[in-house]
Structure 1
Amino acid sequence: MDRLTEMEAFANVVDQGCFTYAAKKMGLSKSAVSKHVSNLEDRLGARLLNRTTRRVNPTDIGLAYYDRARRVLNDAGEADALVTAMQRSPTGLLRVSVATDFGVSHLSPTLGDFMQNYPDIKVDMVLNNRFVELISENFDLAIRIGALEDSTMQARKLAETNRRIVASPRYLEQHGQPQRIEDLNNHRLLHYSQGSSGSVWKLNSPSGEFRQVRTAGSLSINDGQSLLNAAISGLGLAYLPSYLYSDALKSGQVVKVLPDLPPTKQGIYAVYPPGRFLQPKVRAFIDFLVQEFSHKGPENWT
């Protein structure tokens, strides 16, 4: 007899509470299901079920065996589903959460190529600057930058970005170029109002130590691109990732402030809910992004 069929028959009897309903679920006769269970008990040398005229209940040994058998059956079902899905072209609605600045500057320009390659996938990209709950808010994945705090999620690294202080040449002509971290206290520091570290810049000092500088000032913005625009306009110093300032630096709209400070590196990740089976649409999108960003960062994002 097939060992997996014996397990399935036994598990269905436990689930349904009787042989009759288990047989209907499996599309077999009651006697065939009974024979499968009897063969399983004979092979194991243990009684797995207590049989009465009204109900069938697992013994203590049967209950322990049921827990393991159900896991095996679930894994077998996932394996079958995986093979079936991998033979199909990825399809369905893909919901993606991404920070506004990265989404506008680097993710949205790639969507045309992705959707051309996978015409059966519909993309719903949500731009926001808050931490979304992937499962409860029905997102398939999120693009997150920096340290990953939620260890229950799975992640794949896409690229790296450097964070540096930048300012417009006009601002530095008017207010002077800082020479040390301490000099930042005498400058206008533009504040990212939704940063996880609050109104503090965490900088790497030349000695390798982390230094903290408070940034509470006259301007707070909850969007990185808008902070860059403010810096370009000469409103102050901004501490930004290279994926934002790279073009402006190349064109001379901003320059590096304290350029000898070691940059703070941050990873850019595709984050998705845990599970043994990654949906083909999610896998296709992540693989596409890995290839798309393979030549980007940590400093070059032009």
Structure 2
Amino acid sequence: MDRLTEMEAFATVVDQGGFTDAARKMGISKSAVSKHVSSLEARLGARLLNRTTRRVSPTDIGLAYYDRARRVLNDAGEADSLVTSMQSAPSGVLRLAVPTDFGATHLSPILGEFLNRYPDVSVNMVLKNRYVELISEGFDLAIRMGEMDDSTLRARKICETTQRLIASPAYLAEHGRPERLDDLNAHRLLYYSHNAASSMWKITAPSGEVRQVRSATWFSVNDGQSLLTASINGLGIAYLPSFLYAQAMKSGQVVDVIPDLPRDVQGLHAVYPSGRYTQPKVRALIDFLVEKFGTRNADGW
């Protein structure tokens, strides 16, 4: 007889407290349940159940075996559910946390295509310039830039972006072009304002040393697109990712302020809670993002 079926028959008898109710639960005859349990006891060479005319209860050995058998049966059930789930079409509400700059400029314009491709999925996108706690705040997925330092989450790289110092040609013509990082102290710097750390840049010098650049704030705002606009309009120097400045640089509205600096390449990752399997709706969006952005050049965008 099938070993798993024997286990299931025995465990169901224990759960239901008897052969009659176990047979009803399994949808087979009482005699079939009894044969499965007897076969299991014969194979193991041990009595697993105490049988009386009034009740059925596990022996000490039977109780120990039940604990292990129930775990095996639960794992088998989860394995079946996993296969079913992974083959099912993506569906349900997908709650997504995205940095404001990337979400507004690049993700929002293509989400319509994703929703048309997966009509049973609905997206609730929240734009936030901070790390969200995925599980406690109820998010299925988040997009993050930079190093992934949370080992409790799973991550998949979507693409890369480059951070550079940018300014308009008009600003540099009026105020001069800085040649070294130390020269930035004499310039008007444009900062993010969403947290205290944003008013300090960490930039790699030509020597490979990571330098901290901070000066009196000339202009700050909690939005990268606004910083780009301020830079284009000649208000000062900004330190922005290429997914924001690439088009403005191609058109000549801004230029690389210190071209000799090493490229500061950072990855954009999709992060999601670790688990035994990835929900189809989450996997579908990640695959879609890699399809759309995976071939983007870190500098070009």
Q: Tell me the equivalent position of 1:81.
A: 81
Deviation at 1:7, TM superposition (A): 2.9
Output the TM-score relative to the length of structure 2: 0.85
Q: Tell me the equivalent position of 2:286.
A: 286
C-alpha separation in 1, matches of 2:236 and 2:48: 75
Q: How has the CA–CA distance of structure 1 residues 216 and 7 changed in structure 2, closer, same or farther, with 3 Å as cutoff?
A: farther
Q: How has the CA–CA distance of structure 1 residues 56 and 287 changed in structure 2, closer, same or farther, with 3 Å as cutoff?
A: same
Q: Which amino acid aligns with 1:254?
A: V
C-alpha separation in 1, matches of 2:214 and 2:10: 65
Deviates more, 1:49-58 or 1:146-155: 49-58
Output the TM-score relative to the length of structure 1: 0.85
Q: Tell me the equivalent position of 1:267.
A: 267
Counting aligned pairs with the same residue, the percent is 64
Cα RMSD for the two superposed structures = 2.9
Q: Which amino acid aligns with 1:76?
A: A
Higher Rg:
2
Deviation at 1:113, TM superposition (A): 1.8
Q: How has the CA–CA distance of structure 1 residues 129 and 187 changed in structure 2, closer, same or farther, with 3 Å as cutoff?
A: same
Q: Tell me the equivalent position of 1:220.
A: 220
Q: How has the CA–CA distance of structure 1 residues 103 and 28 changed in structure 2, closer, same or farther, with 3 Å as cutoff?
A: same
Q: Tell me the equivalent position of 1:166.
A: 166
Q: How has the CA–CA distance of structure 1 residues 17 and 247 changed in structure 2, closer, same or farther, with 3 Å as cutoff?
A: same
C-alpha separation in 1, matches of 2:277 and 2:116: 25
- Deviations 1:133-167, CA, capped at 9 Å, x for gaps: 22222222111111122211111111000111111
Q: How has the CA–CA distance of structure 1 residues 288 and 31 changed in structure 2, closer, same or farther, with 3 Å as cutoff?
A: same
Q: How has the CA–CA distance of structure 1 residues 277 and 197 changed in structure 2, closer, same or farther, with 3 Å as cutoff?
A: same
Q: Tell me the equivalent position of 1:18.
A: 17
Q: Which amino acid aligns with 1:89?
A: A
SS of 2:288's partner is helix
SS of 2:96's partner is strand
Deviation at 1:184, TM superposition (A): 1.6
Deviation at 1:40, TM superposition (A): 3.3
Q: Which runs of 5+ in 2 are unaligned?
A: none
Q: How has the CA–CA distance of structure 1 residues 113 and 195 changed in structure 2, closer, same or farther, with 3 Å as cutoff?
A: same
For these two proteins, the number of residue pairs brought into alignment is 299
Q: For 1:75-224, what aligned pairs fall within 5 Å after superposition?
A: 75-194=75-194, 197-215=197-215, 217-224=217-224
Q: Which amino acid aligns with 2:108?
A: S
Q: How has the CA–CA distance of structure 1 residues 26 and 243 changed in structure 2, closer, same or farther, with 3 Å as cutoff?
A: same
Q: Which runs of 5+ in 1 are unaligned?
A: none
- Deviations 1:58-79, CA, capped at 9 Å, x for gaps: 747854x555544433332233
C-alpha separation in 1, matches of 2:198 and 2:92: 38
C-alpha separation in 2, matches of 1:67 and 1:157: 41
